[in-house]
Structure 1
Amino acid sequence: MRAPSAQFWLPMQRVNTLSKWDGKTSTVLNHTEGCGHNGLALTKQKTFLLACTNDPGAIVELDLTGKQLRRWGTDSNGKKFDGGINDIVVTANGGAYATVFGPYANPPIPTSIIGKILYLAPGGQKWVEVANDLNYANGIGVSPDQKTLYVSQTVSNCLLKFTIEADGSLSNRSNFALLNLLVKNKNDSSWLGPDSMKIDSKGNIYVAQWFGGKILKISPEGKLLHVFEIAAGDGTTNVAFGQDEDELYVTVVKDPKDTHAKGSIVKIKNIK
């Protein structure tokens, strides 16, 4: 989800659409059957990188009207994105990172640990695998100084961090935050864990907790700064900043077990 200038660009996974909403009217910009529209990132070229989360996944580049410009279905070694693409973040130099999630069976029970992080270099044509063996990799973010990459492991209910090297490769993988040590688990779901995230200008991480009904604000040192409880539902999925980071816009599914994923957008005041 993006929310610049009081306009929202909303990927709708269940109906395979990307919509633009101005607060009154919703307009479908892209409909690609079988994509499972999920993570969305704005590039330096003013195009969108869209995560197709349906397995096997894909990454699609769109112009601002929703027209497809490029599509990737494999990495630099020709491997399909088994597990689906979940989220994407663009770096200050024009590169991008994306997460590969993992198998989502019916019934949805976590299975193989096949999550990955992919990297597209500035001006690059192919996505390169830079990390693997992640337990359902989900949200992803980069620190303001561009030196640290954060990624959610949903099933592990934790955030990882990596050092970003000059060539875009990753090193020094470590646990950054175990969410069950920061807040009490709301339930015993296997899917209780971090979803998408945003990072503010001070480097604080705002992460949505799927099945948890909350947004956690965490300092760069891993300290819990605030918990935003979301009354609209337990399926908090993403967060975006309003002007000057004074407000947060949160996407939330009322019941995360609902196969139709009916939800809403909630605006709340940030606590600085």
Structure 2
Amino acid sequence: MTMAEASTLLTGRGLVESPRWHGDRLYFSDWTAGEVVAVDLAGRSEVVARVASLPLCTAWLPDDDRLLIVFSAEGRLLRREPDGSLVTHAELGAAGWNDIVADGRGNVYVNRVGFDPTAGQDVKPGAVHLAGPDGKVHEVADDIAFPNGMALTADNSTLIVADSYRHQLVAFDIDADGSLSRRRVWADLGEGTPDGICTDAENAVWYADVPNRRCVRVAEGGTVLDTVPLDRGAFACALGGPEGRTLFITAARWQGMTESEMVAPGSGQVLTVPVEVPGAGRP
């Protein structure tokens, strides 16, 4: 099923990623500018944080107004306090950190790519790490060729990770201590290349796809339920809005991982598509 065309909420940005609905606004990252931006449904936007990091992904702590920001360049997880100040939430270690998601129990999952794709290095599998409520960070899953978007089911029982290079969504059970077990392929996507992902109330997953310039909704097992075609690469997606029935997509014209500018300048957009099934889980 192909859905209606996407509408443009915001344009003129760079490499836009990590959309997160919180309160009455969408928060997203502009990696090119090193900014975290909030935009309302009327298209009014403001910069809420500046961090010179690539990647630059975010997550909201549960039942809180504190935003977590992955400072990949320095291997730190930052926390934005209500007054706008940034403090260190956890020390992650060497650079290379990518996406992040926080569950409802204070566990924060951050994944790390095992090589530097911008330098043309050979592929080396990455991993998922857990930053617990105590601030300690340790690896909880390995052998993910290129770990990208992550999402949690609404009951905090399952973590789903996009493995872009293997064209799969990989799932793990979340144990009581936050560790991961029962690894399995949640969906084989064929030629689909998943980047950012989100879950909905029917336990389906939306994934953004850069090379195929689309957003796709799939059921467990990989059956395609809906497709939103785009004229540029889709980097990430999130469900939100007043009733959770708006699919937000961050998209830009992709130029290449090793290019000096990975996306065409000014081509970054935030798009919206109405959907029938509301969002559930995190992000």
Residue 48 of structure 1 corresponds to which residue in structure 2?
A: 67
Residue 115 of structure 1 corresponds to which residue in structure 2?
A: 126
Supply the distance in 2 between the matched residues of 1:106 and 1:2 (Cα, whole angstroms).
Answer: 25
Residue 213 of structure 1 corresponds to which residue in structure 2?
A: 213
Supply the distance in 1 between the matched residues of 2:253 and 2:88 (Cα, whole angstroms).
Answer: 34
Give, as a single letter, the amino acid of the residue that structure 1 aligns with 2:125: I
Question: How far apart are 1:64 and its partner, in Å?
Answer: 4.3
C-alpha contact (below 8 Å) 1:160/1:175 kept by paired residues: yes
Question: How far apart are 1:102 and its partner, in Å?
Answer: 3.4
- Residue 269 of structure 1 pairs with residue 280 of structure 2: no
- Residue 144 of structure 1 pairs with residue 154 of structure 2: yes
- Residue 101 of structure 1 pairs with residue 113 of structure 2: yes
Question: How far apart are 1:18 and its partner, in Å?
Answer: 1.2
C-alpha contact (below 8 Å) 2:140/2:179 kept by paired residues: yes
C-alpha contact (below 8 Å) 2:255/2:262 kept by paired residues: no
Give, as a single letter, the amino acid of the residue that structure 2 aligns with 1:89: V
Residue 31 of structure 2 corresponds to which residue in structure 1?
A: 13
Residue 56 of structure 2 corresponds to which residue in structure 1?
A: 38
Alpha-carbon spacing, 1:71–1:19, altered in 2? closer, same or farther (3 Å): same
- Residue 91 of structure 1 pairs with residue 110 of structure 2: no
C-alpha contact (below 8 Å) 1:152/1:159 kept by paired residues: yes
Supply the distance in 2 between the matched residues of 1:99 and 1:115 (Cα, whole angstroms).
Answer: 7
Alpha-carbon spacing, 1:106–1:46, altered in 2? closer, same or farther (3 Å): closer
Supply the distance in 2 between the matched residues of 1:149 and 1:239 (Cα, whole angstroms).
Answer: 16
Alpha-carbon spacing, 1:156–1:53, altered in 2? closer, same or farther (3 Å): farther
| Pairing partner for 1:58 from 56, 63, 76 | 76
TM-score by length of 1: 0.82
Cα RMSD, aligned residues only? 2.3
Alpha-carbon spacing, 1:221–1:64, altered in 2? closer, same or farther (3 Å): farther
Supply the distance in 2 between the matched residues of 1:251 and 1:202 (Cα, whole angstroms).
Answer: 23
- Residue 201 of structure 1 pairs with residue 210 of structure 2: no
- Which range is displaced more, 92-101 or 133-142? 92-101
- Residue 29 of structure 1 pairs with residue 29 of structure 2: no
Supply the distance in 1 between the matched residues of 2:248 and 2:33 (Cα, whole angstroms).
Answer: 21
* 1:127-177 per-position Cα deviation (integer Å, ceiling 9, x unaligned): 221011211111111112222110011111211111111111111112221
C-alpha contact (below 8 Å) 1:211/1:236 kept by paired residues: no
Residue 280 of structure 2 corresponds to which residue in structure 1?
A: none
Supply the distance in 1 between the matched residues of 2:138 and 2:31 (Cα, whole angstroms).
Answer: 25
Supply the distance in 2 between the matched residues of 1:141 and 1:105 (Cα, whole angstroms).
Answer: 23
Supply the distance in 2 between the matched residues of 1:13 and 1:239 (Cα, whole angstroms).
Answer: 17
Alpha-carbon spacing, 1:263–1:174, altered in 2? closer, same or farther (3 Å): same
Question: How far apart are 1:101 and its partner, in Å?
Answer: 2.2
Query: Where do 5+ consecutive residues of structure 1 fail to align?
Result: 75-79, 186-191
Supply the distance in 2 between the matched residues of 1:66 and 1:32 (Cα, whole angstroms).
Answer: 13
Question: How far apart are 1:256 and its partner, in Å?
Answer: 4.5
C-alpha contact (below 8 Å) 1:149/1:163 kept by paired residues: yes
Alpha-carbon spacing, 1:149–1:219, altered in 2? closer, same or farther (3 Å): same
Supply the distance in 2 between the matched residues of 1:158 and 1:234 (Cα, whole angstroms).
Answer: 18
Give, as a single letter, the amino acid of the residue that structure 2 aligns with 1:269: P
Supply the distance in 2 between the matched residues of 1:267 and 1:256 (Cα, whole angstroms).
Answer: 23
TM-score by length of 2: 0.79
Question: How far apart are 1:5 and its partner, in Å?
Answer: 4.5
Percent sequence identity over aligned pairs? 20
